[in-house]
Structure 1
Amino acid sequence: MTLTVRDLARRSQAAAGAKDREAWLGLFSEDAVVEDPVGPSPLDPAGRGHRGAAAIAGFYDNVIERVDRMRFEIERSYLCGDEVADVGTIHLTLPGGHSTRVRGVFTYRSNGADKIAALRAYWEFGNPDPRS
């Protein structure tokens, strides 16, 4: 069965929300890249993204694993060939019970073989909800 990249995006979001490390990592191709957020940030000072299985596993361990709870709320989704752009909010509960939300555009590209080749998240660090 061939999955759409939207299917892969939903599986990625569900696995991250369930804190299922192996399921989340298993969605990516060996040469995939995760840019979350795109460009330089405290999560990626060089702004080059996390490339390859080991770097993506490090991103999971240093970012996703440290969040107590994560829930995706997708408002709109645009599927175009092997790419999808999701517009929505990630609701986060951080250690100590602090809650925040991150509004953004989250794009996924498939490698055409049921794996994610790229996950790119467009959101403003330090301004999680630009509407506020």
Structure 2
Amino acid sequence: MFSHHCTEVTMKDTPHLAVEANKKSIQYAMEGNKEGWLALYTDDAVVSDPVGKSPMDPAGNGHQGKAAIERFWDTVIGKANIEIRADKRWTSGDYHCCVAQVARNDLGDGNFTECDMLAVYEVNEEGLIVRMGAHWDFDNMMEQLAKVSAG
């Protein structure tokens, strides 16, 4: 018979680095904590939000580097009154997680947009984000904003 006297700590016993980065990213975005949010990223990180070409990223290569990521905060996240709910998180290895989440942006006067997304986080051994890609439907967001404007 095999003896099970293992003293190694399993991944379930310690916080997963990518999950922790996602939780902090959500917290700081909802608090409007720009400095805390930016500190989660490496200097050469890439943020694709949304993944692919959009008016926010015409080339579709993501916002590359801290300066570009800070501009993304200033033009998108920092202007929003956002509430983000993570519905489910999946981990893959030590440094990746995928998160099903919903971002609700309160536009005032009872108006809001809701964006379902799948966000993929990759962190380094220190738990800093090296790549984040948020998959969501840009056209759907524009339709929601058009309805609010027309209403």
TM-score above 0.5, yes or no: yes
Q: CA deviation at 1:97?
A: 5.8
Choose from 49, 56, 60 the match for 2:62. 49
- 1:87 is matched with 100
Alignment-mate amino acid for residue 21 of structure 1: K
Q: Give the Cα–Cα distance (whole angstroms) in 2 for the partners of residues 6 and 93 of structure 1.
A: 25
Q: Secondary structure at the match of 1:7?
A: helix
Q: 1:44 to 1:95 in 2, by over 3 A?
A: farther
Matches within 5 A, 1:9-88: 9-67=22-80, 69-81=81-93, 82-88=95-101
Structure 1 gaps of 5+ residues are none
Q: Secondary structure at the match of 1:16?
A: helix
Q: Give the Cα–Cα distance (whole angstroms) in 2 for the partners of residues 46 and 3 of structure 1.
A: 32
Question: Does residue 120 of the first structure (1) align with residue 133 of the second (2)?
Answer: yes
- 2:20 is matched with 7
Q: Give the Cα–Cα distance (whole angstroms) in 2 for the partners of residues 30 and 109 of structure 1.
A: 14
Q: Give the Cα–Cα distance (whole angstroms) in 2 for the partners of residues 25 and 2 of structure 1.
A: 21
Q: 1:2 to 1:113 in 2, by over 3 A?
A: farther
Please state which structure has a larger fraction of its residues in helix.
Answer: 2
**What does the per-residue CA deviation read over 1:51-107, in whole Å, with 9 as the maximum and x for residues that have no partner?**
00100000000111111x111111111011211000121111136763010001011
Higher Cα Rg: structure 1 or 2? 2
The two structures have a TM-score, normalised by structure 1, of 0.89
Alignment-mate amino acid for residue 74 of structure 1: A
Matched positions, count: 127
Q: CA RMSD in A?
A: 1.7
Q: Give the Cα–Cα distance (whole angstroms) in 2 for the partners of residues 108 and 94 of structure 1.
A: 27
Structure 2 gaps of 5+ residues are 1-13, 142-151
**Identical counterparts, % of pairs:** 32
